[in-house]
Protein backbone atom coordinates (compact mmCIF):
# COMPACT_ATOMS: atom_id res chain seq x y z
CA UNK A 1 0.00 0.00 0.00
CA UNK A 2 1.26 3.46 -0.95
CA UNK A 3 0.73 4.98 2.52
CA UNK A 4 3.16 2.54 4.13
CA UNK A 5 5.98 3.59 1.79
CA UNK A 6 5.86 7.33 1.30
CA UNK A 7 7.31 10.66 2.42
CA UNK A 8 5.61 13.74 3.85
CA UNK A 9 6.44 16.60 6.20
CA UNK A 10 5.53 16.73 9.88
CA UNK A 11 6.02 20.15 11.45
CA UNK A 12 8.40 21.02 8.56
CA UNK A 13 10.54 17.88 8.88
CA UNK A 14 10.60 15.33 6.07
CA UNK A 15 9.48 11.89 7.27
CA UNK A 16 9.85 8.78 5.11
CA UNK A 17 7.92 5.64 5.97
CA UNK A 18 9.33 2.27 4.92
CA UNK A 19 6.95 -0.63 5.52
CA UNK A 20 4.87 1.75 7.64
CA UNK A 21 7.60 2.94 10.05
CA UNK A 22 10.16 5.72 10.30
CA UNK A 23 12.69 6.04 13.10
CA UNK A 24 15.04 9.00 13.40
CA UNK A 25 17.56 10.15 15.99
CA UNK A 26 16.76 13.18 18.09
CA UNK A 27 19.61 15.68 18.18
CA UNK A 28 21.48 15.73 21.52
CA UNK A 29 19.40 12.84 22.86
CA UNK A 30 19.52 9.06 23.09
CA UNK A 31 15.80 8.97 22.23
CA UNK A 32 14.38 8.44 18.77
CA UNK A 33 11.33 9.83 17.00
CA UNK A 34 9.20 6.98 15.68
CA UNK A 35 6.42 7.58 13.17
CA UNK A 36 3.97 4.80 12.30
CA UNK A 37 1.37 4.36 9.60
CA UNK A 38 -1.98 3.57 11.26
CA UNK A 39 -4.23 3.15 8.23
CA UNK A 40 -7.87 4.19 8.47
CA UNK A 41 -7.88 5.27 4.84
CA UNK A 42 -10.65 7.18 3.14
CA UNK A 43 -10.91 7.52 -0.65
CA UNK A 44 -12.47 10.23 -2.79
CA UNK A 45 -11.69 13.31 -4.85
CA UNK A 46 -10.49 16.09 -2.52
CA UNK A 47 -9.17 18.54 -5.10
CA UNK A 48 -11.81 18.34 -7.84
CA UNK A 49 -9.61 16.84 -10.56
CA UNK A 50 -11.76 13.72 -11.01
CA UNK A 51 -9.11 11.37 -9.54
CA UNK A 52 -9.55 9.51 -6.24
CA UNK A 53 -7.22 10.75 -3.51
CA UNK A 54 -6.85 9.03 -0.16
CA UNK A 55 -6.12 9.97 3.43
CA UNK A 56 -4.54 8.00 6.26
CA UNK A 57 -3.56 8.28 9.94
CA UNK A 58 0.02 8.36 11.27
CA UNK A 59 1.20 8.52 14.88
CA UNK A 60 4.45 10.02 16.09
CA UNK A 61 6.20 9.34 19.39
CA UNK A 62 9.34 11.30 20.25
CA UNK A 63 10.08 9.44 23.48
CA UNK A 64 8.25 11.92 25.73
CA UNK A 65 4.87 11.36 27.37
CA UNK A 66 2.64 12.06 24.36
CA UNK A 67 1.76 10.33 21.13
CA UNK A 68 0.79 12.78 18.40
CA UNK A 69 -1.74 11.79 15.75
CA UNK A 70 -1.72 13.26 12.25
CA UNK A 71 -3.65 12.90 8.99
CA UNK A 72 -1.91 12.86 5.59
CA UNK A 73 -3.55 13.03 2.17
CA UNK A 74 -2.13 11.42 -0.97
CA UNK A 75 -3.33 13.37 -4.00
CA UNK A 76 -3.54 11.30 -7.16
CA UNK A 77 -2.24 12.81 -10.38
CA UNK A 78 -1.56 11.29 -13.82
CA UNK A 79 2.00 10.31 -12.83
CA UNK A 80 1.21 8.85 -9.37
CA UNK A 81 0.63 10.44 -5.98
CA UNK A 82 1.84 13.54 -4.14
CA UNK A 83 1.45 13.78 -0.37
CA UNK A 84 0.34 16.80 1.60
CA UNK A 85 1.83 17.89 4.88
CA UNK A 86 0.82 15.88 7.94
CA UNK A 87 -1.94 17.76 9.80
CA UNK A 88 -1.88 17.49 13.61
CA UNK A 89 -5.19 16.19 14.96
CA UNK A 90 -4.12 15.85 18.58
CA UNK A 91 -2.00 14.42 21.37
CA UNK A 92 -3.14 11.27 23.14
CA UNK A 93 -6.44 11.07 21.28
CA UNK A 94 -8.22 7.96 19.97
CA UNK A 95 -8.31 8.04 16.14
CA UNK A 96 -11.49 6.75 14.57
CA UNK A 97 -12.66 7.06 10.97
CA UNK A 98 -12.34 9.48 8.06
CA UNK A 99 -14.66 10.30 5.18
CA UNK A 100 -13.88 12.26 2.05
CA UNK A 101 -16.88 14.38 1.03
CA UNK A 102 -16.09 14.87 -2.67
CA UNK A 103 -19.13 17.15 -3.15
CA UNK A 104 -17.67 19.64 -0.65
CA UNK A 105 -14.00 18.69 -1.20
CA UNK A 106 -13.70 18.13 2.55
CA UNK A 107 -12.09 15.48 4.70
CA UNK A 108 -14.06 14.69 7.87
CA UNK A 109 -11.77 13.28 10.57
CA UNK A 110 -13.50 11.53 13.48
CA UNK A 111 -11.69 10.95 16.76
CA UNK A 112 -12.22 10.79 20.50
CA UNK A 113 -10.62 13.65 22.44
CA UNK A 114 -10.76 15.03 25.93
CA UNK A 115 -13.40 17.48 27.11
CA UNK A 116 -12.33 21.07 27.67
CA UNK A 117 -10.49 21.39 30.97
CA UNK A 118 -9.62 17.69 31.29
CA UNK A 119 -5.96 17.02 32.16
CA UNK A 120 -3.77 15.29 29.56
CA UNK A 121 -3.75 12.25 31.86
CA UNK A 122 -7.53 11.81 31.44
CA UNK A 123 -8.55 9.23 28.84
CA UNK A 124 -10.24 10.60 25.71
CA UNK A 125 -14.03 10.45 26.08
CA UNK A 126 -15.62 13.07 23.81
CA UNK A 127 -16.40 12.34 20.12
CA UNK A 128 -15.07 15.08 17.84
CA UNK A 129 -14.96 15.86 14.12
CA UNK A 130 -12.24 17.87 12.43
CA UNK A 131 -12.90 19.28 8.95
CA UNK A 132 -9.90 19.57 6.62
CA UNK A 133 -9.39 20.83 3.06
CA UNK A 134 -6.53 20.69 0.57
CA UNK A 135 -5.53 24.11 -0.77
CA UNK A 136 -4.80 24.62 -4.49
CA UNK A 137 -1.10 24.47 -3.48
CA UNK A 138 -1.53 20.97 -1.99
CA UNK A 139 -1.45 22.02 1.66
CA UNK A 140 -3.75 20.22 4.12
CA UNK A 141 -5.39 22.75 6.45
CA UNK A 142 -8.19 22.89 8.99
CA UNK A 143 -11.60 24.45 8.46
CA UNK A 144 -12.99 24.08 12.00
CA UNK A 145 -13.31 21.49 14.75
Which tens digits make up the pLDDT trace of 48-102?
999 999 999 999 998 777 899 999 999 999 999 999 999 999 998 999 999 999 9
d(CA 14, CA 29): 19
> What are the two backbone dihedrals, phi and then psi, of residue 19, each rounded to the nearest 5 degrees?
55, 35
Averaged confidence pLDDT in the chain: 90
Contact 84, 134 (CB under 8 A): yes
Q: What is the pTM of this model?
A: 0.91
Amino acid sequence: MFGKNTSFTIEGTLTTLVNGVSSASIENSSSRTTTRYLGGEAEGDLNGDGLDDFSFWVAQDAGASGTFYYVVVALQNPSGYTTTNAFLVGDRIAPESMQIRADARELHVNFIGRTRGDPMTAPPSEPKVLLLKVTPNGVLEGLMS
